[in-house]
Structure 1
Amino acid sequence: MRVRGKPRQVRSASRQAESRHLRLLILALATLVAISLLSRLPAWSLLELRSFDYLSTVDDPRPPPGGPVIVAIDEPSLADINAQWPWPRSLHAQLVRQLRTAGARVIGLDIIMAEPSNPDNDDAITRAVGPDVVLAGDETLIETPQSSQLIRATPLPQLTEAGAVTGIASVDLSGDGAFRRIPGYEDGFAAMLMKASGAAPKALPAGRLIQSFGAARSYPTVS
């Protein structure tokens, strides 16, 4: 006796399995295409960066002890000095001498002194700087339809001749105005500070994301 109908059931089940696999494949491809398209949107990129900001500080990390102390030119400073910005360079010279006396291993002035000012003030800061002082420089790329021009602003020659070191302090900000990526300068401000302190800076790839230690004043800060 022959049992009829089973081959049809087997073929029907096989077709259903193939159809289900095909639908799953189409769904997976559609999902990948949708994610790929969404990842090109600015909002997706911003969401990804904000997620990194959150995850990088979720453990509430703290800067290691013995690191930098930030001397901030902030509102209390402006109120106490009672002078409009920019301040005379003789005042920065006084600060350098006091920081050195207080035991600062290396001093970084994130202020660009590329143009001459009052000669007496320029002479004062020249006498104060030395190999333990890093002065900020700036690099700007100017692009026109005809050409691209890279312009560097560096400290006055008399300051570097006195021993001061130049560190490029230019940074590239993300679309939301946050600083997240390591600048691509071998003579960057942070790297030159490390060298001036006697430490060897790590060779990190340009554009690598920076883990933040937290909000403003996470580092020890004084006015």
Structure 2
Amino acid sequence: MKKSLLVLASAAALMAGQVSAQTAPAAAPAQPAMNPGPVIPGVCVYSVEDAIAGSDMGKAAGERMRQLSAAVEAEIKPERTAIETEGKSLQDQVNAKTLQGEALQTKAQAFQGKVQGFEQKVQLRGQELQATEAKAQRQIATDLEPQLRAVYTEKGCGILVDRNSVLFANPAMDITGQVVTKLNAVKKTMTFDRERITPQARPTAAAPAPTAATKKN
């Protein structure tokens, strides 16, 4: 029984981590000033991750994800509370020796089934939130692309480098902010609902092969 409750606690902790979307990153330690180096003509630097996060669409998506996460937490909280209450009640009965033998086994199995069902729901909701966030980010990246192409042409870029692939670059070559500005001018918000994932049905046991006694002559 204690094992079941520990499993439940782990599932609840997992859900808490999954629904806390868009948490603020820890502040980076201060770095000493350095010479940015020369601007290399035709070389531009871009970060799609920063463009998504810094755009009005990205901020709207983050707020929407927080709303969806809160809705998921509100959905699962009553079930979690009910299971915790039932688990404590069963444990109290076991400690008081008022529930033993076959009756205990029957109730324990039923309770374990509820715990497993809750764990599966927690996992499914977490997967749905992840799928929702990924889809929103893909949409923002798609809307950013024409703006990126426009800035690339305007700046006379001859090569575009992913900022994550270089250690340092002169900020003057970074066109991320300009791309974000262009996107914000044409699209400021977005809304969406939580993606739905159909739970996979458990495979049923194969029917036994007919024996000689059951075969018809």
Question: What TM-score range do you get, normalising by the shorter chain?
Answer: under 0.3
Q: So what's the TM-score if we normalise by structure 2?
A: 0.21
Greater relative CO, 1 or 2 (CA 8 Å, sep 6+): 2
Higher helix content, 1 or 2: 2
TM-score where L is the length of structure 1? 0.20
Q: Which structure dedicates a bigger proportion of its chain to strand?
A: 1
Q: Which has the larger radius of gyration?
A: 1
